[in-house]
Amino acid sequence: MQIIDGIPVFGTTDDGALTQIKVCAQTAARVALMADSHKGYAVPIGGVVAYKDAISPSGVGFDIACGNKAVRLDTPAPYVREHIARIMDEVFSTISFGMGRNNQEPIGEQPIFERDYPGWDLDATRPLKRMAQNQLGTVGSGNHYVDIFTDEQDRVWVGVHFGSRGLGHKTATWFLKAAGAKDGMDVEPCVLPVESDLGEQYIRAMKLAGAYAYAGRDWVCGRLARILGGEILEEVHNHHNFAWLEQHSDEMLWVVRKGATPAWPGQKGFVGGSMGETSVILQGVESPLGALTLNSTVHGAGRVMGRMEAKGKYKNGVCVREGRVTPAMMASWLDGIELRGGGLDESPDCYKRLPDVLAEQGESIRVLHTLTPIGVAMAGANEQDPYKD
């Protein structure tokens, strides 16, 4: 960890992310940059930005409440390995992957859709309820996934990564437009006083999207347990695109974590690696570093290569610029892993190595379990990712 212009920076970051966090620091009480950081929309992914009496919609990002959930099942690992091809076929045909997809199965009654559930009375969210009902339990595109793992004790885990889908994206877009925010990557973050009418509305909408994302990840993990024929014995669940009102030292701060996982002492988190590498269950540790990270840690391995750089540029179906990642390169990472979907822009070649990233976070965290993937499902190679974070 190094301090750059008063900002705690963990690991090696790119110039774009560093410039962005310096701009954020001009209007924030405290900031920090995690070791998986890279450039984002106004606020860097891996950025932790804390405000006194204010909140940032561009800090939370377009995929409000994107997060990870992992569950441990009682299904025997030898059974899963023996039947992994059939299991992954069922996962890929049951769970909806891709942009703008609806759930193929009835989701049943969900408390979040009850008439008086907080947040649906807002102008930003009221028109989105039917869409949200249809999309609950869908995973989306980009780096969102469903993985099946075994841990160091040969126990089976399921891990998922996705957020609030169209509800979050359209909600964020509504508030950024209402606030008159500039569009683009290299702009000042939109910051709203929490006591303003728009700020109060945004917090309500953000919490609604957070509850929706939790419900979606709960549904997918429960459906995966049914496919695997197991009972859930343990679960770890966190947002990493969200804002929380927290006490740090003697101050109450709105802590915005964009691509950063809460990691208070004793708090568990699930952090995913790339499709061909291990993921982890970790825990926050009491440490002097905790004050510098605002009790936060990484949310993944962190990209080092842009999507177009990885897969190449195409126009009307014709390649006009070759990508840096080849199918053979991606396949070399996937020995023993049953993959469904996934494109060259999600190859492990596009990411940092997770063990290195975790090591950069120092003694603020400890790894409880190492999860080795045996099955990975993502949106297909030709799916577009509409989210800017």
Q: Where are the domains of the chain?
A: 2-378
Q: The pTM is what? A: 0.94
Write out the two tokens for 47. 């950025």
pLDDT at 384 exceeding the cut of 70: no
User: How much is the pLDDT for 142?
Assistant: 87
In terms of C-beta density within 10 A (0-12 exposed, 13-18 middle, 19 or more buried), how is residue 93 classed?
exposed
pLDDT at 385 exceeding the cut of 70: no
**From 3.90.1860.10, 3.40.630.10, 3.40.50.300, 3.30.420.40, which CATH number describes the 2-378 domain?**
3.90.1860.10
Tens digits of per-residue pLDDT, 30-78? Answer: 999 999 999 999 999 999 999 999 999 999 999 999 999 999 999 999 9
Tens digits of per-residue pLDDT, 172-219? Answer: 999 999 999 998 899 999 999 999 999 999 999 999 999 999 999 999
In terms of C-beta density within 10 A (0-12 exposed, 13-18 middle, 19 or more buried), how is residue 117 classed?
middle
pLDDT tier at 382, thresholds 50, 70, 90: low
Question: Which residue from 295, 304, 236, 290 is spatially nearest to 260, judged by alpha carbons?
Answer: 295
